[in-house]
Amino acid sequence: MKRDPLDQLRLVTEPVAPGLEFADELEGRMRRALDVLLVPLSGVREGEAVMQTRVIEPAVTSGVAYEDVGRAVRWLTEILGLRVARHWGPQDQPIFAYLAWRTEILSVWVRPTDNPWSEVGPVSIGLLADEQTVESAYERAVAAGADVVRPLRVEANPAVPEGYLGFSLRDPEGNLWSMYTRGPRFEVVNEEGEAR
């Protein structure tokens, strides 16, 4: 086969350091954009926001009432991997906490005794994650002896016919928490007819 003379143009790229000022400026831009710091409950002062530049603005949020919020927060962070965004009350026994999951925020609080929320029974909440995250959380749940109500498995339904991987747990106060791989994407049309 005849060799193409233009193959002689092949370039072996050598690393080239750009100017220090440019390198520092770009690193600064990256660090500011990546300054996500959702830290575990320990080490967070009461009422202190621990999310720095990353702002989560959920349009819908859920809340779960617990008799023992401290135990619930430990269970949700250590097993499922939620992160504490902000809390009020003692570190080990908060009365209210916001927990972050990717783009969403859930709240947990001490079950009241004198308003309609005192009657709310166990709830069911689903968390979406990638496959590796789902598998890791399930391993932690089993290792911690969590109450598994649906073991890790692939299931399918009419909405997700290609199937998804997931599992479900019952938390110490009877709420059901499921984690599964992403389901279908939805495109919703608003009143102006623009997809959003």
Partner 1 sequence: MIEEAGVRSLADELLELYPAALPQVYGFLLARCGDQALAEDLTAETFMDAVSAVQKASVETITVGWLIVVARRRLIDHWRRLERERRSLRLISHDADQTTDPWDEVIDVEAARSALERVGPTHRAVLTLRYLDGLSVPEVAHLIERSVHATEGLLQRARVALRRAYEEGGLPRDEA
Binding mask 83-122 for partner 1 (x = CB under 8 A): x----------------xxx--------------------
Whole-angstrom distance, CA of residue 26 vs CA of residue 81: 31
Taking only Cα atoms into account, the Rg of the chain, rounded to an integer number of angstroms, comes to: 23
According to the binding rule CB under 8 A, does residue 154 interact with partner 1? no
65 vs 179, beta carbon nearer partner 1: 179
Segment interacting with partner 1 (CB under 8 A) among 5-13, 112-120, 139-147, 148-156? 5-13
Among 36, 122, 139, which residue's Cα sits nearest to residue 81? 139
Interface pick for partner 1 out of 132, 143, 184, 188 (rule CB under 8 A): 132
According to the binding rule CB under 8 A, does residue 149 interact with partner 1? no
According to the binding rule CB under 8 A, does residue 1 interact with partner 1? no
**Residue where the block lists tokens 């689903």:** 126
According to the binding rule CB under 8 A, does residue 26 interact with partner 1? yes
- Residue 20 beta carbon to partner 1: minimum distance, rounded to whole angstroms: 11
Interface pick for partner 1 out of 1, 18, 57, 194 (rule CB under 8 A): 18
Among 148, 70, 57, 145, which residue's Cα sits nearest to residue 105? 57
- Residue 141 beta carbon to partner 1: minimum distance, rounded to whole angstroms: 14
According to the binding rule CB under 8 A, does residue 143 interact with partner 1? no
According to the binding rule CB under 8 A, does residue 37 interact with partner 1? yes
5 vs 193, beta carbon nearer partner 1: 5
Binding residues for partner 1, rule: CB under 8 A, are: 3-11, 13-19, 22-23, 26-27, 29-31, 33-34, 36-38, 54, 81-83, 100-102, 127-130, 132-133, 182
